[in-house]
């Protein structure tokens, strides 16, 4: 049971950290709205969460990149399990909008909407973690004493 609890908290922590990293990416896009030749970037949250929690298809992702890695022992770290949450490989240029005359591809309205949505989801994830911790403290009889 403790393993399930730990896994649940680690999943929530990974989701929260990825939301924070996405906020940084979106902030960078908004900050560079007037930078000539700047290309807006973002990442798919669900894909990054799969990578971070080890529930994704690591081998398929590596195969698409033309790389193959293998481990020789169960305890070895897998190909994409760096111990941290690196979203650098998942960053992609945003497409669909027309670039400005200075070749800047930031659509400020889309960036603001994505920023607001990510903020709401970050706060919801934080509330969920806090609620889980409060429930655990209450169950252990250590809450609000």
Q: Read off the pLDDT of residues 44-63 as tens digits, 9 standing for 90 and up.
A: 898 888 888 876 555 455 54
Q: How far apart are CA 126 and CA 124, in angstroms?
A: 5
> Does pTM top 0.75 for this prediction?
no
Other Cβ atoms less than 10 A from the Cβ of 42: the count is 19
Q: Read off the pLDDT of residues 72-115 as tens digits, 9 standing for 90 and up.
A: 656 555 544 444 456 677 888 887 667 678 889 999 999 999 99
Contact yes or no for 97/105 (Cβ under 8 A): yes
Terminal C-alpha separation, the chain: 25
């Amino acid at each position: 049971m403790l393993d399930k609890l730990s896994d649940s908290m680690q999943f929530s922590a990974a989701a929260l950290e990825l939301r924070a990293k996405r906020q940084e990416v979106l902030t960078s896009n908004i900050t560079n709205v007037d930078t000539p030749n700047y290309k807006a970037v973002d990442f798919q949250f669900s894909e990054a969460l799969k990578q971070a929690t080890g529930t994704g298809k690591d081998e398929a992702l590596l195969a698409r990149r033309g790389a193959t890695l293998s481990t020789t022992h169960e305890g070895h770290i897998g190909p994409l399990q760096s111990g941290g949450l690196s979203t650098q490989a998942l960053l992609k240029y945003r497409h669909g909008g027309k670039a400005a005359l200075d070749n800047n591809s930031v659509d400020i309205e889309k960036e603001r909407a994505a920023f607001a949505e990510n903020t709401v989801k970050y706060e919801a994830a934080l509330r969920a973690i806090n609620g889980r911790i409060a429930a655990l403290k209450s169950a252990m009889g250590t809450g609000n004493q």
